[in-house]
Amino acid sequence: MKTELNSMKWHILVIIIVCILIIPVVFAVSNSFKTLADAFSNMFNIIPANPTLENYIHVFEKLPFLQITLNTFFIATIVTGFKIITSLLAAYAFVYFNFRGKNLLYFVLISTMFIPFTVIMIPNYLTISCMGFRDNLWGVILPQLSDALGIFLLRQSMRTIPRSLIEAAYLENASDFKIMKDIIIPLVKPALISTGIIFFINSWNEYVWPVLVLKSKENYTLSLALQMFISAEGGTEFTIAMAVSVMTMLIPLVLYIVFQKHIINTFAMSGIKG
Amino acid sequence: MKDIIFDHVLKAYGKNVVVKGLNLNICEGERLVLLGPSGCGKTTTLRMIAGLENITDGQLYMGGRIVNDIPSGKRNVSMVFQNYALFPHMTVEDNISYGLKVQKVDPREIEERSNAAISMLDLNGLEKRKPKELSGGQRQRVALARALVKRSDYFLLDEPLSNLDAQLRVHSRKELVKIHEMYHQTFVYVTHDQVEAMTMGHRIALMYDGILQTIDTPSNVYNRPANVYAARFIGAPSTNIIEANLNEGKLIMAGQHIVPPEVWIKKMKENGGDMFYFGIRPEHTKITTDYMDNALKGIVRYTEDYGNKVGVYFDINGKELISVCDNNVPATGERVYFVPDYSRIHLFDYKTENSIGYPEDLSKHNYGVVYELRGRLAGDRKFKAE
């Protein structure tokens, strides 16, 4: 009885938190289906008085919206793919290889996580310009092919794998590549997926770096498109901005729903028992 | 020849030397047990054979060639790990056949060998299960099956029974011996359990502090321990070791003296010196509450019941000794007379702690010669506790 009451208290708290978190999303969705006039008069009505798709139609007319979505998707996919591959390889080396200066190298690598983006923004911009990648999707991608966070997370996950598993595979004359493929990847899969999702969403939402590199509309990403409707030059067409927001949200949301089980697993899992 | 030879092998982690100049010869097809307390370097020794640890110095030969720089996968060894090291994401079947698949063995051969191992180790019906769905004993058998399908020349086992309950351990011990009798691989078994060592090994290599203390047959390790450490480590309760001073044909121990048989005095004189360690196993002693000549006198401190026997701890001038007896157990606080079986005593050099050897014929020097009951009769005993 007491535990029931106790868990009820927690449930109420969690429900309140969820409501607070979900309000902006509901707000965005409902306003994206309102006319501008309707939105101004009944901003906090969840159900639009005269539902309309005109905001969405407007976005598609005014912008190469499909292209923009594809750009964002392209950047996010390539960046995520590379970050995962480089993190896996580096984490494997840090866990299973012994080499001189390993700990120092790891320390240096991890400390890069604490360097603010604004510090490396200008050097990166100059490098990209010199390479001729200004206003090019590859200009956005190139400086982001590896990530200390990924190395850190995957290394932590690999360290929970008992060393004897790897040794058992060594005894079978398995190569490091084979060990990675047959043993490490299946065992760190939940961590791999959640790290991948983090990378994908970060890249999807990225604003400052693309805004520096990308200039022409056909190269824009979704966050840049969004900014067009809420900046000074975009005016106050915030119902259109809401429509873009909703569309920006869609892909990460679908991804999350698909991989939900793995993401929750990663946080729930304390280790792999041998 | 599928033998293993350690030639002055040294293993150090930084400044910490864990195996100190090991010389060890493991014969083809032999069951050798590496025995010792934890941290003695026995597992490191096994892992050096497997190629999982680098050799700091010295040479390791396997099958006649130096293997110091040959990677694990090319040494043709199979190993059973203490935690079994089963791949948690693979089924029993996949775990067993993984190594063969990596080595690109013909699929029909893989199936044949896996099936043979599965039925031999009684794993039928569990093929599709994951390791976490198995009991400890089943996991251990999967680990064994995985090592067996490889049909390698060297079979290494790192405390494979330590995670099993006592009954299963006894059963698995027999199974392991049976498996070895079938394949006759060179079998190296690491354990800290002396019963496992005594029952399974053709020979026992006893290690302590990175040094090989003795290597011999189980019978010799028990009956003719090479040094004080071996005498103490093997046997439960542990061997009594007392400092003894040879003085005019008497052995003075803890302020009392006994007169050992002439053959032993001769042996001690051959060795030289007058200080020795006198060793006697509790099961090779007699204690009585009746007066005995040529015996050590002590006071019983406490007793331990083992079910079939009783261990009696008694005190001789501050030195604690133990004896086991099956009847006429003295009570705590009682005075006892203690006589060793002189055909089963061990004497060690005081400085080197090595055995001084044994006189040729000891059979007539048991209790009989010096066993003289005087005064009171056996039925006349009085317990102080009463």
Domain CATH number, residue B344: 2.40.50.140
- Tell whether B386 is covered by a domain: no
Taking residues B169-181, report their average pLDDT.
91
pLDDT digits (tens, 9 = 90+) for B25-44: 999 999 999 999 999 999 99
Q: How far apart are CA B84 and CA B314, in angstroms?
A: 44
- Mutation for testing the A interface, residue in B13, B80, B87 having most A CBs under 10 Å: B87
| Contact between residue B320 and residue B296 where contact means Cβ atoms under 8 Å apart | no
- Tell whether B385 is covered by a domain: no
Whether residues B85 and A164 touch (CB distance < 8 A) is answered with: yes
The helix (H) or strand (E) run that includes residue B287 is strand B285-288
User: Nearest CA to B4 among B213, B215, B147, B164?
Assistant: B215
pLDDT exceeds 60 at position B380: no
User: Cβ–Cβ contacts within 10 Å for residue B71, how many?
Assistant: 12
B14 and B58 both lie in a single domain: yes
Per the structure block, which two tokens stand in for A121?
Answer: 């923004």
pLDDT exceeds 70 at position B160: yes
Q: How far apart are CA A177 and CA A96, in angstroms?
A: 12
Q: How far apart are CA A121 and CA A138, in angstroms?
A: 16
Q: How far apart are CA A238 and CA B62, in angstroms?
A: 78
| Confidence at residue A261, expressed as pLDDT on a 0 to 100 scale | 78
On whether any CB of chain A is under 8 Å from the CB of B104, the answer is no
B156 and B45 both lie in a single domain: yes
Per the structure block, which two tokens stand in for B346?
Answer: 């061990």
Query: Could you tell me the residue range of the domain that residue B355 belongs to?
Result: 229-380
Q: Among the residues of A63-184, which ranges form H helices?
A: 65-96, 102-111, 117-130, 137-141, 148-159, 163-171, 176-179
B66 and B123 both lie in a single domain: yes
User: Cβ–Cβ contacts within 10 Å for residue B178, how many?
Assistant: 10
Find the residue in B nearest to A162 (Cα). Answer: B85
Q: Which of A169, A178, A274 sits opposite B88 (nearest CB)?
A: A274
User: Cβ–Cβ contacts within 10 Å for residue B259, how many?
Assistant: 14
On whether any CB of chain A is under 8 Å from the CB of B149, the answer is no
B189 and B248 both lie in a single domain: no
| Confidence at residue B373, expressed as pLDDT on a 0 to 100 scale | 36
For residue B349, the distance in angstroms to the closest alpha carbon of chain A comes to 43
User: Nearest CA to B185 among B73, B54, B63?
Assistant: B63
Domain CATH number, residue B160: 3.40.50.300
Least confident of A236-240, A244-248, B105-109, B334-338: A236-240
Residue with tokens 């002396």: B194
Confidence of residue B326 (pLDDT cuts 50, 70, 90): confident
Reading phi first (left if > 0) and then psi (alpha if -120 to 50, else beta), residue B156 is in beta
On whether any CB of chain A is under 8 Å from the CB of B62, the answer is no
Taking residues A94-107, report their average pLDDT.
92
Q: Which of A167, A183, A273 sits opposite B87 (nearest CB)?
A: A183
From residue A3, alpha-carbon distances to A12, A14, A226 in Å are: 14, 16, 47
Whether residues B81 and A168 touch (CB distance < 8 A) is answered with: yes
B60 and B169 both lie in a single domain: yes
Is the omega angle on the peptide bond into residue B260 within 30 degrees of 0, that is, cis? no
On whether any CB of chain A is under 8 Å from the CB of B85, the answer is yes
pTM for the predicted model, two decimal places: 0.81
Find the residue in B nearest to A163 (Cα). Answer: B85
3-class SS at B182? helix
Q: Phi and psi of B372, rounded to 5°?
A: -130, 115
For residue B163, the distance in angstroms to the closest alpha carbon of chain A comes to 13
Show Cβ contacts of residue A85 under 8 Å, excluding neighbours closer than 6 positions.
none
- Mutation for testing the B interface, residue in A96, A167, A171 having most B CBs under 10 Å: A171
Reading phi first (left if > 0) and then psi (alpha if -120 to 50, else beta), residue A269 is in beta
Whether residues A170 and B86 touch (CB distance < 8 A) is answered with: no
Q: Phi and psi of B176, rounded to 5°?
A: -60, -45
Q: Among the residues of chain B, which ranges form H helices?
A: 42-50, 92-102, 107-120, 136-148, 166-183, 194-200, 218-223, 228-233, 262-271, 367-370
On whether any CB of chain A is under 8 Å from the CB of B88, the answer is yes
From residue B239, alpha-carbon distances to A186, B229, B327 in Å are: 52, 10, 21
Q: How far apart are CA B33 and CA B328, in angstroms?
A: 38
| Confidence at residue A235, expressed as pLDDT on a 0 to 100 scale | 61
From residue A252, alpha-carbon distances to A185, A211, A230, B247, B290 in Å are: 23, 21, 22, 92, 91
**Which residues on chain A are in Cβ contact (under 8 Å) with B77?**
171
Q: How far apart are CA A266 and CA A261, in angstroms?
A: 9
Q: How far apart are CA B190 and CA B206, in angstroms?
A: 10
On whether any CB of chain A is under 8 Å from the CB of B84, the answer is yes
DSSP string, A239-264: HHHHHHHHHHHHHHHHHHHHHHHHHH
Q: How far apart are CA A141 and CA A129, in angstroms?
A: 13
| Confidence at residue A43, expressed as pLDDT on a 0 to 100 scale | 76
B53 and B135 both lie in a single domain: yes
- Tell whether B260 is covered by a domain: yes
For a pLDDT cut of 70, what percent of chain A falls above it? 93
| Confidence at residue B1, expressed as pLDDT on a 0 to 100 scale | 78
B185 and B258 both lie in a single domain: no
Whether residues A274 and B150 touch (CB distance < 8 A) is answered with: no
pLDDT digits (tens, 9 = 90+) for A188-219: 988 898 899 889 989 999 999 999 999 988 89
User: Nearest CA to A169 among A159, A180, A158, A160?
Assistant: A180
- Tell whether B362 is covered by a domain: yes
For a pLDDT cut of 70, what percent of chain B falls above it? 94
User: Nearest CA to B50 among B153, B141, B178, B198?
Assistant: B153
- Tell whether B106 is covered by a domain: yes
From residue B241, alpha-carbon distances to A68, B116, B166, B229, B347 in Å are: 86, 50, 30, 10, 9
Q: How far apart are CA A1 and CA A232, in angstroms?
A: 58
The helix (H) or strand (E) run that includes residue B203 is strand B203-208
DSSP string, A20-45: HHHHHHHHHHHHHTS-HHHHHHSTT-
Taking residues A97-105, report their average pLDDT.
92
B288 and B218 both lie in a single domain: no
* Mean of per-residue pLDDT scores for chain A: 88
B245 and B335 both lie in a single domain: yes
- Tell whether B275 is covered by a domain: yes
Whether residues B99 and A186 touch (CB distance < 8 A) is answered with: no
**Which residues on chain A are in Cβ contact (under 8 Å) with B51?**
170-171
pLDDT exceeds 50 at position B319: yes
Q: Which of A178, A182, A274 sits opposite B85 (nearest CB)?
A: A274
Q: How far apart are CA A118 and CA A95, in angstroms?
A: 31
* Mean of per-residue pLDDT scores for chain B: 89
**Which residues on chain B are in Cβ contact (under 8 Å) with A187?**
88-89
Find the residue in B nearest to A171 (Cα). Answer: B73
- Tell whether B306 is covered by a domain: yes
Per the structure block, which two tokens stand in for A74?
Answer: 């392209």
Where is pLDDT greater, at B376 or A211? Answer: A211
| Confidence at residue A266, expressed as pLDDT on a 0 to 100 scale | 64
The order of strands in the sheet holding B256-258 is B256-258, B250-253, B240-247, B275-280, B346-349
Confidence of residue B385 (pLDDT cuts 50, 70, 90): very low
Last residue of a domain, one of B180, B210, B225: B225
Residue with tokens 């969405």: A56
- Tell whether B369 is covered by a domain: yes
**What type of residue is A174?**
A
For a pLDDT cut of 90, what percent of chain A falls above it? 53
Q: How far apart are CA B386 and CA B378, in angstroms?
A: 17
Taking residues A118-133, report their average pLDDT.
93
pLDDT exceeds 80 at position B363: no
pLDDT exceeds 70 at position B314: yes
- Residues 21..60 of B with a Cβ closer than 8 Å to A: which? 50-52
Find the residue in B nearest to A188 (Cα). Answer: B89
Last residue of a domain, one of B170, B195, B225: B225
List the domains of chain A with CATH numbers.
1-52 (no CATH), 57-268 (1.10.3720.10)
B305 and B274 both lie in a single domain: yes
B233 and B355 both lie in a single domain: yes
Last residue of a domain, one of B163, B198, B225: B225
**Which residues on chain A are in Cβ contact (under 8 Å) with B131?**
274
Question: Into how many domains does chain B fold?
Answer: 2
Whether residues A169 and B88 touch (CB distance < 8 A) is answered with: no
B286 and B355 both lie in a single domain: yes
pLDDT digits (tens, 9 = 90+) for A28-71: 899 889 888 888 887 778 888 888 888 899 888 888 888 999 99
Taking residues B237-258, report their average pLDDT.
91
Rounded (10°) angle between helices A185-205 and A65-96: 140
